Structure 1
């Protein structure tokens, strides 16, 4: 089994047809740890997935997030790309590691800046 459970990120953001969201998940493209389908963006949540419908996304912004390690002999920090998805319930951040993956995710979400 690919996943254990799909749950909406927003309390009111579920689809009426559960089977269509399962089919969309199976056909979705993987971008690092996230999956992006035609209908929704899927965010891992432990052993399940939360989904945000594309129609609920109000704004997509590119940004940065900081990867830090204070362990060991040589602590380091570096910036990595991120996508901020604004929706009625607040904001979700897709933390990515590579710039080309941020561009790919932006293209799959079909958001023009």
Structure 2
């Protein structure tokens, strides 16, 4: 992989890391806001799930291009952070639907939400 391409991956990962860190402080507040609607929580979940999917694609590309393992690990950590936020949003949607979030296993969240 060329130097310019490597720099692009690195820049992209650094930006994604900053984004998920901001999201990790903002999204829980949004989900706990008393005025949040089912539609807002659902759209938030879909948007976060798209971030998970984007990171899955990026991780595969990094692995296929034999990028240094430390960058792949960083991408995986970012992806897992997005996944946790997606699960939190899915739980909020389930609360709206009347399903207790304690009765649904975390690993089934994406199935329940269509992910």
Give the TM-score normalised by the residue count of structure 1. Answer: 0.24
Greater relative contact order structure (CA < 8 Å, 6+ sep): 2
| Higher strand fraction (1 or 2) | 1
**Which entry has the higher C-alpha Rg, 1 or 2?**
2
| Higher helix fraction (1 or 2) | 2
Give the TM-score normalised by the residue count of structure 2. Answer: 0.24
